Structure 1
Amino acid sequence: MLFVVMLGGKHPRARIEVHDVVFAVADTLQATYPQLRDAWFGSPKGVHIDSWMAVDGVDGWKVELSHLAPHGDAPRLYFINLGGYEANSFGEAHHYLLVVAHHKQEAMRKGKQQMLSHWSQSHTDAVLDIDDCLPIDLVDGRYIHLVQAAHRPIVQRNDYLVLP
Structure 2
Amino acid sequence: MMESLKLFMVLLGCKPAGRHTEQHDIFFAIGDSLADLKPAMTGFWPEANGKIHIDAWREVNVVDGYQLKIVPAAADAGMREHRLFFINLGGYKKGEFEEQHYKMLVVARNLAEATRMAKNTAFYKHTGFEGAVAHIDDKYGVDVDDVFEIEDVLPANVRQRFSLQLRADSDAPDDEIKLGYIPLSKV
CA displacement, residues 27-66 of structure 1 (integer Å, 9 cap, x when unaligned)? 3322322222221242224211111122111112111111
What is the deviation of 1:139? 7.2
Q: Which runs of 5+ in 2 are unaligned?
A: 1-5, 144-149
Q: Which residue of 2 aligns with 1:144?
A: 164
- Distance in 1 of aligned mates of 2:67 and 2:140: 19
Greater Rg, structure 1 or structure 2? 2
Instruction: Give 3-state SS (helix, strand or coil) of 2:33's partner.
Output: coil
Q: Which residue of 2 aligns with 1:125?
A: 137
RMSD of the alignment, in Å?
2.0
148-157 or 87-96, which deviates more? 148-157
- Distance in 1 of aligned mates of 2:104 and 2:112: 15
Structure 1 segment 72-83 matched on structure 2, within 5 A: 72-83=79-90
Q: Which residue of 2 aligns with 1:106?
A: 113
Structure 1 segment 1-164 matched on structure 2, within 5 A: 1-12=6-17, 14-67=19-72, 68=74, 69-116=76-123, 117-120=125-128, 121-131=133-143, 132=150, 133-138=153-158, 141-149=161-169, 150-164=171-185
Query: Which structure has greater helix proportion?
Result: 2
Return closer, same or farther for 1:159/1:70 CA change in 2, 3 Å cut-off: farther
1:35 partner letter = A
Return closer, same or farther for 1:146/1:97 CA change in 2, 3 Å cut-off: same
Mapped contact 2:85–2:106 kept (Cα < 8 A)? yes
TM-score (norm 2): 0.78
- Distance in 2 of aligned mates of 1:138 and 1:73: 19
| Structure 1: 4+ residue segments shifted above 4 A | none
Q: Which runs of 5+ in 1 are unaligned?
A: none
- Distance in 2 of aligned mates of 1:130 and 1:40: 19
Query: Which structure has greater strand proportion?
Result: 1
